[in-house]
Structure formats: C-alpha cells, structure tokens
Amino acid sequence: MQPAISRVALPPPATGAWREGDPPGRRRWHHRAAALPLEAGGELPGVRLVFETWGHLAPDRSNAVLVLHALTGDSHAAGPAGPGHPTPGWWDALIGPGRALDTDRWFVVAPNVLGGCQGSTGPSSPRLGAAPLPGSVPGVRAVPGPGAAAGSATAPGPGGRSWGSAFPFLTQRDQVLAEAGLADELGVDRWALVVGGSMGGMRALEWAVTLPERLDALLLLACPAAASAEQIAWASAQVHAIRSDPHWRGGDYHDAGPGGGPHTGLGLARRIAHVTYRSEPELQARFGREPQGGEDPWRGGRYGVESYLDHQAAKLVRRFDAGSYVTLAEAMNTHDVGRGRGGVRAALRRVRARTLVAGIDTDRLYPPAQQTELAAGIPSADRARILASPYGHDGFLIETEQVGELVRELLGPGTG
C-alpha cells in the first residue's frame, strides 16, 4: 500500500522573486551599457530589464506598442502559466491575433519595471561586485517569443549577493529612462501606442511628458496626474506593515531559507491594498457577513471576506518580493507629473500624443475625478471616459472588452 501524500503546503521561499537559475520562460533581457543616473542623486550600475514581445516589428518600425504593468504585475502580459510564469498573462484577453492589440498587426512589448522582481534589476537582484550566492547556476537560453526583435534572449548568469537594503530610491522618471533604453535597443524611435493602468498609467504619463516626441497615441487607465495624500497614506501603511515584520531584517532577508522572508508583513500589505482595489458593493454582494465554510468567527474562525484576503496574501508572497513592493510603492508615492515642470497643468500641456483617459466608476483608490483632471489638462484628450464595473480599481484589468474598445478607438480601423 502506497503511503498517503502529504498536502501540507511547503513554506514559501524568502522571496517570490525570479532568481538566477529559475526557468526563464518567455523572458528576454535588455542590458544597459552605462549606469542609470537617478533623479534622487547617484546612479544605478548593471541595469537590466526583462521584457516579452508578441508579433513582428514592421520594417519601418511604426507598429510598436508599449504595455506597462501595475504594482504587482510583470512582463507576462499575455500567454499561459508555465515554467517561469506562475500565472497566466494579466491582459491575455487584449493581446493576440484578432484581439484589440492584434499581434498580426502590432508588435507588443511589455517590460518588467525597474525595481521589480521578475528578472529586472531590483532589491532581489545580484549586486555587482558581491560574493556569488551559494547554489547559483549559469543561466539558460530563453525561448524568444514570435517576432522577437533585438535584445538578449539569454538569462543572466550567477551574480553576487542581493542588493537588499542597499538598493537605491527610485522614481517613475528613473523607470521611464530605463524603458527608453530598451526602446532604443529594440530600434523603436516612436511608439504607435503607450498604454498602462494604475502604476503603469503613471509611467505611461511620464513617457508622454518626458519624451513627447516618441509617442503617437496614449491610453491612461485609472491613474492620477500626481499621487494624492490619501493614496500616499494607503501605500505608507503597506510599507510600514512590511518593514515591521521581524523577518524584514532591514531589507536584507533574501538569503534566508524557506519561511524566512517577511511574509507576514507582505501579506498584510496585500490585504490592505486589495481592499482598495475592489469596491464595497462587490465585497458586500460576494461575501456579506457570511462565515467561511464551517468556520465560526465567534470562536476563532473567519468571515468569508477574511478568507478571501488571506487567499490573496498567500498567493502574492509566493510570486513577489517584499523589497520590490516597498521600492515600487515608494516610487508611486513620488508620482507628480508637474514636479520641476511648473506644476501639473504646465506638464500636461507637453503631451502631443492622441490621448484617451479612462477611469472606473467604482474606483475608490484612484477615483474618476483624477482622470477628469488628466483629460481636461491634456490638449489632445477629450472628456474622460468612465468604464462601468462593479470591481473597483481592478476594473482596468477585468473589463477587457471596454478597454479593448478604447484601444481600437486610438489605433484606428482594422484593429482587432
């Protein structure tokens, strides 16, 4: 008789980041030749960005589309889960043959943001000049996606100890500068469209203001011209939750064994964030005051909504890095398109691209009034489009049919 198979979940690794020697999946790497100058001062050496592509770059390079992800997203915007990609593409319904971003027509590029944890340089990345990590193995050849253009398809080899607490402070403008280097390597002088939602929308806006000559069209989804006091407060609470975890170790936890990372703090941050991502009516309709299964909240059990948040937290700690969460949350707090440019109104007047701005009617994190401000300030934008969704802020990820209509409106006939 065969022994019973244990179903006890193994403790998560110290970080859910992609690490050297992990399956590369569809990832490709852009290596920046020179150190990246940082807005806050100093520079970041050895910068690399992971990216994925779909479709073929046209001979005149006029059909490139840049897709920018939100806080816990990555370069895997389309395609199934598999080795190297624990989850399916986060905008899979939008990208592919016959879809709004039709890869028979468009060359779609999705980078993992600088400071992220799925192959781009971030707190979990090896720091140049440090001692090699125990057990590091050489990188393997990545399988480039269809229509792959320039850029290394080789996973980086073994490196040194992780950046951890020594990783520098980043802003959205630093991240856009790194992405501009990727565009240069791909030979893309001008994007047919730059699109992003939430944190990705912040970067899309920075692209349009910092490098207005490099965009034909711009789609901003559920994002502001500048982070508000309330948005900074929500992010600050999440950052404090992570840093209060004893396993945070000042940010130097990446070499800890399974279960040794700041999972409690990261899980709390995810719970806080997820409440802001969804709407109160949706949570009430889905869960109400019902207990979870046979649990009794009066005797140590959970309500259904508590179980839902526990589930979201448990998923994130296995696929994300706490240090990247802190780095990216703080970068989002710096977001102010008017900083050093004479204010928001003056900055928005720099945008030259055909622009659509859209918000979600139930979004309580980035409410529609912020998208109305963007649309009013960008000369080429008309009124803000408001998408109907019960899902709150996450509607920009879920309401793909409505988002797809906006993409088609910007890219013109024959799209999708």
| Beta bridge mates, 29 | 50, 152
Choose, from 198, 279, 324, 389, the residue flagged as catalytic: 198
Instruction: Identify whether the C-beta of residue 317 lies closer than 8 Å to the C-beta of residue 181.
Output: no
Please list, in sequence order, all residues whose beta carbon lies within 8 angstroms of the beta carbon of residue 167, skipping any fewer than 6 positions away.
Answer: 115, 122, 123, 251, 323, 327
Catalytic: 198? yes
- Answer yes or no: 69 catalytic: no
Catalytic residue, chosen from 321, 363, 389, 394, is: 363
Q: What is the DSSP string of 363-374?
A: -SSS-HHHHHHH
Name the DSSP class of 242: H
**279 labelled catalytic:** no
The secondary structure of 332-344 as a DSSP string is HHT-BTTTTTTSH
Question: Position of tokens 């969704």?
Answer: 389
First to last CA, the chain: 56
127 phi and psi angles, rounded to 5 deg: -90, 130
Q: Which of 85, 102, 393, 394 is catalytic?
A: 393
55 alpha carbon, distance to own chain's centre: 21
The HSE-up count of residue 212 (CA atoms within 13 Å, CB side) is: 13
Q: What are the catalytic residues?
A: 198, 363, 393
